[in-house]
Amino acid sequence: MERPFDIWQALYQPWNIIKLLTDKERDGEHFRIRSITPLGERQFVEALRTRTESDSILLFVHGYYTSFERAVFKAAQMAYDANFKGHVLVFSWPSADALADYDYDEVAADTSKNDLLKVFQLLKEVSGKKLYIVAHSLGNKVVLDTLELAAAKNADLNISELVMAAPDVDYIRYGDATKAIKALAHNMTMYASSADWALTVSSIKARAIRAGYIDSGKQPNLYSGVDTIDVTAVGDDMLKINHDTSSKSRMVLEDIGHLISSRNHQLPDERITTLKSLVGKEAMKYWYYPR
């Protein structure tokens, strides 16, 4: 069955806001970009004001080593799996899309917050819609930096869920940021792993633990107000595009689907009954996928 998506792409370059339409799934191709139509700011806002069945917005911010096309496909996968009926946005900061160019991507992520802030300012003009944000890897740095700026400006973004997959952010910096943005994002979920090779390399390179990285045999980093889920059992790519519904790599996508489609926030084991829980530091609870 064909399920078209309206995917709105806010590129890193200022004011270049793109509408993408993806075709139905095809064997061996999954999702395809059919067309790209540049939109001005006013056109972008008016398009988001159009009513949809769920009257909500999903914003995906990709991570390190991710091309424009792959970011769009990941967002389409999430929307498809969740049967998401709202508007789907992708903020594409300029990743070099090269395994060896982490340093380039890190600088690009660090310098993209003002452009994402502009997108948030435009979203403020679209009142009455719930906003769901999903960030991956280095994209979490972009989102957290931007939301801190927005919080300082007392912005009202009506964020229903902030989902942070494998946050490639210093673990101390992450804690400070999540405290600062609680007024904007009441419901926060973090997926952490010891199997994520990119976080492993990033932690070694920075000589500091990343928030989403778990040392083998240890507990994940835990933060007040953030539901933390250990997804080590899922594998080394928690947002892998994979149409094999029995694959472990789809577990996180399925949980994200629950988060962006539920009317009210639920705890992880209320969404996914197979999740187990433990009590970590400072009596904080966290969840994990059993092996």
pLDDT for 27 equals 44
Percent of the chain with pLDDT over 90: 60
At 122-159, the pLDDT tens digits run: 998 988 889 999 999 999 999 999 999 999 988 888 89
Going by pLDDT thresholds of 50, 70 and 90, the confidence category of residue 247 is low
Distances, alpha carbon 49 to alpha carbons 46, 125, 127, 204, in Å: 5, 9, 8, 45
Q: Which residues make beta-bridge pairs with 132? A: 58, 161
Res. 190: pLDDT tops 60:
yes
Res. 248: pLDDT tops 60:
yes
At 43-55, the pLDDT tens digits run: 999 999 988 888 8
pLDDT for 242 equals 59
Q: Which residue has the higher pLDDT, 75 or 198?
A: 75
pLDDT for 284 equals 96
Q: Rounded mean pLDDT of 195-205?
A: 87
- The answer to whether residues 231 and 289 touch, using CB atoms and an 8 Å cutoff, is yes
pLDDT for 30 equals 61
Average pLDDT, the chain: 86
At 4-42, the pLDDT tens digits run: 334 443 333 333 333 333 334 454 556 778 888 999 999
pTM of the model: 0.88
Lowest mean pLDDT among 159-163, 181-185, 201-205, 277-281: 201-205
At 78-98, the pLDDT tens digits run: 898 888 999 999 999 999 999
Q: What is the DSSP string of the chain?
A: ----EEEEEEESSTT-EEEEEEPPPBTTTB--EEEEEEE-HHHHHHHHHS--SS-EEEEEE--SS--HHHHHHHHHHHHHHHT--SEEEEEE------TT-HHHHHHHHHT-HHHHHHHHHHHHTSTT-EEEEEEETTHHHHHHHHHHHHHHTT----EEEEEEES--SBHHHHHHHHHHTTTTBS-EEEEEBSS-HHHHHHHHHHTS-BTTB--TTSPPP--TTEEEEE-GGG-S-TT-----TT-GGGHHHHHHHHHHH-SS---HHHH-TT-EEEE-GGG-EEEE---
Q: Return the structure tokens found at 59.
A: 């914003």
Which architecture characterizes domain 5-288 according to CATH?
Answer: 3-Layer(aba) Sandwich (3.40)
Percent of the chain with pLDDT over 70: 87
Find all residues with CB under 8 Å of 195, minimum gap 6, and list them: 232, 234, 235, 236
